[in-house]
Amino acid sequence: MYSSAKVNGFSFKVWFGKFEPAVMLKELEIENDIVLFGFNAFDEIDLSKEIMGEESNIKLISDYSATISAAVFCGIKTYIMDIKNIGVCVCNKGNLVDIVDRVANPFDDEYGKTNKLKIISTKRGKIALLIDTDCMIDEHWKKIQKEADIVVCISDDNSMVLAEQVKMYSAIYSKPYIYVNAIGVEWKE
């Protein structure tokens, strides 16, 4: 199942459910600038197995981006040894662009954090990525305000509580956004 719209010149589709390229290709034929997946697209990804070639989840995302000619943003939970992260895998034109990890962990859950917000350049413009709880931090919105054309928030919160935070900060900073979690999508021009 998917949802689609256009925000600030970016056409996008959001796929809900597991990452299934054969099914998605039929459903997502119309050209888009970006395709988004929530954290339910994959189970936790073992990065050591990805590196060794024993698993190929990230390669699936990359290959899919080449097939549909769109940037793909997919929420992923990863681990390597005892280190766990929550982030977004960004692929475009068949290449892994980045794995952007969450910056804030205000609830001190099992997943780590990094120290740098990321803005991804695409053919349409600059996309600021706020991952999970990053979207509820005022300082993050201040940092991305001038550079980003649009804010994409992919969250593991299935209650839509963080969606309310995104709406509030979007209004304060006059930033269009797309918010995705496992149960829904919201956006504002």
Average model confidence (pLDDT) for the chain? 91
> pLDDT digit string (tens) for 11-54?
998 888 888 876 766 665 567 899 999 999 999 999 999 999 99
Domain at 184, CATH number: 3.60.110.10
Number of domain units in the chain: 1
Q: Residues 136-142: what's their mean pLDDT? A: 96
> 113-138 in b/e burial notation, b at 16+ Cβ within 10 A?
bbeebbbbebebeebbbbbbbbbbbe
Please count the CA atoms within 13 angstroms of the CA of 90 that sit on its side-chain side. 20
Q: Where are the beta strands (DSSP E) in 41-117?
A: 45-46, 71-80, 83-92, 95-101
Give the per-residue pLDDT at 80: 94
Q: Tokens 């931090």 — which residue?
A: 137
CB-based contact 113:105 (threshold 8 Å): yes
For 172, the domain range is: 2-188
Confidence of residue 123 (pLDDT cuts 50, 70, 90): confident
